[in-house]
Amino acid sequence: MPIEIVCKIKFAEEDAKPKEKEAGDEQSLLGAAQGTAAPRDLATFASTSTLHGLGRACGPGPHGLRRTLWALALLTSLAAFLYQAAGLARGYLTRPHLVAMNPAAPAPVAGFPAVTLCNINRFRHSALSDADIFHLANLTGLPPKDRDGHRAAGLRYPEPDMVDILNRTGHQLADMLKSCNFSGHHCSASNFSVVYTRYGKCYTFNADPQSSLPSRAGGMGSGLEIMLDIQQEEYLPIWRETNETSFEAGIRVQIHSQEEPPYIHQLGFGVSPGFQTFVSCQEQRLTYLPQPWGNCRAESGLREPELQGYSAYSVSACRLRCEKEAVLQRCQCRMVHMPDSLGGGSEGPCFCPTPCNLTRYGKEISMVRIPNRGSARYLARKYNRNETYIRENFLVLDVFFEALTSEAMEQRAAYGLSALLGDLGGQMGLFIGASVLTLLEILDYIYEVSWDRLKRAWRRPKTPLRTSTGGISTLGLQELKEQSPCPSRGRAEGGGASGLLPNHHHPPGPRGGLFEDFAC
């Protein structure tokens, strides 16, 4: 008859801890074998870092006075470096620049500039009609009446055409120009182009940028030489003063590039009758810096004109456009010399930045009196005038290059990014003995430690509940005999078979599994 033994085993959660610990150690070893190594501590990193002084201040070893002094020296050097670096950064952010002047080598041929000249008197008195006097009353100061004395209240005239008035009443170059010579070749009024300015009808020599005249030598006789009669007898009488009333006699001259429209009322210079005026020019090519170093206007890559009414951008063109928009906004009209383009008035103040690349002409002006006693009689006979008229009306203008050289004035950044990096590297090497690779070492160590802490925070196990469990195990007698490592106590005691079951004891050594000692 088989005997069945029922054993009831009860154990607490603490009894399972050794087994769980073993399993946990096994998993940690597996993770260490499969994952990355644990991060280095600060002492290990400091002993291998290339930052000078860090190993002596934070490396392995006992803490003492020597290590404290090294830490203070490291902190002091780091503070000095940060102070110097802040000063260098402030200096870089001010964007300093300098102007470099480079004289160019002499050129065999130089492009001659455009020369614009205007008679200071805008309207010839003899050419004004009654209607012209009526329409120009506020501009000229003449009384608005006809030659018979009729006042403005009784006068009726059609709307004026200012272009027609300027063309008819302005001084004609064919009448003013007495002689013209350019580089030893004769020239005439046909070599000048008509242009309108604040002085009315004016004339520009060498105005076409597509066919600019060259100058093959420097000095007098190699440029433009003209003799003009300013026709003072045609000057308007002054009845009252207005904003446009002129008390001078002579011409206004501006020397400029072909791409730039004349802005002669502000940029021109005066030439007086009775003198020969010499204007020695030198080409200057200016290069300015854009933002953030300067405020110049960079060239646009678009094909269409940057300013309506002009083929290229210039400060003069921008100012004329601003004037036109202001007049158009206020009175819905424009003056003759303003650009004829569509568009309304601009909002706010008009800002005209300097282009980043421009050409201007430096001038040196000198003069002598003409005519002398011998030439006065000759000129009077030649032009059928008296000597007084020659002295009061005739002038000679001589414009030439001083030499066929140009000056290049260029703005350059005085403290650029490469200089800043070089100074920062020098300060780093002087105070802390570091480089860019040293900074990468520190960043790599910070990343390593931070990433390890994040992984630990994500993988932290939950604390299990402490509960007691029970169970019942049913063993057959034959299985118990086969599996039990305990020897039979009955034989040892008396040699006979006993009706009592022997006590089962674990062999000496560590306990195995979750089953503890028990007696059946």
Whether the per-residue pLDDT at 513 is higher than 60: the answer is: no
Q: Distance between CA 24 and CA 16 in Å, rounded?
A: 12
Q: What is the pLDDT of residue 300?
A: 60
Confidence of residue 269 (pLDDT cuts 50, 70, 90): very high
Question: Which of 60-64, 75-79, 124-128, 490-494 has the least mean pLDDT?
Answer: 490-494
DSSP letter string, 230-246: --GGGSPP-SS--TT--
Whether residue 203 contacts residue 226, with contact meaning beta carbons closer than 8 Å, is answered with no
Decide if pLDDT at 17 tops 60. Answer: no
Residue 364 has pLDDT above 90, yes or no: yes
Does residue 319 register a pLDDT over 80?
yes
Give the distance from CA 507 to its chain's centroid.
88
- The pLDDT assigned to 38 comes to 62
Residue located via tokens 């000229």: 140
- What does the pLDDT read at residue 216? 84
Highest mean pLDDT among 10-19, 114-123, 304-313: 114-123
pLDDT given at position 96: 81
Residue 477 · residue 7 · CB < 8 Å:
no
Higher pLDDT, 131 or 501: 131
Could you read off the pLDDT of 462-484 as tens digits, one per residue? 555 555 444 444 445 455 455 55
For 35-62, where are the alpha helices, taking DSSP H only?
Answer: 42-48, 54-58
Residue 36 confidence (pLDDT): 52
Burial (CB count <10 Å: 0-12, 13-18, 19+), residue 185: exposed
Q: Check pLDDT > 50 for residue 516.
A: no
pLDDT for 272 equals 95
Q: What's the pLDDT at 463? A: 59
405: which 2 tokens? 């050289």
Residue pLDDT, tens place only, 206-230 = 998 888 898 888 888 889 999 999 9
Confidence class of residue 188 from pLDDT cuts 50, 70 and 90? very high
Average pLDDT, the chain: 78
pLDDT score recorded for residue 102? 75
371: preceding bond cis by omega (within 30 degrees): yes
**So what's the pLDDT on residue 472?**
47
The fraction of the chain above a pLDDT of 90, given in percent, is: 25
202 has pLDDT over 90: yes
Which segments within 183-336 are labelled E, that is strand? Answer: 185-186, 192-197, 200-205, 214-215, 224-229, 251-256, 269-271, 275-287
- What pTM, to 2 d.p., does this model score? 0.65
Distance CA 368, CA 272 (A): 11
Say if residues 169 and 210 touch (Cβ distance below 8 Å): no
**pLDDT interval class at 107 (50, 70, 90):** low
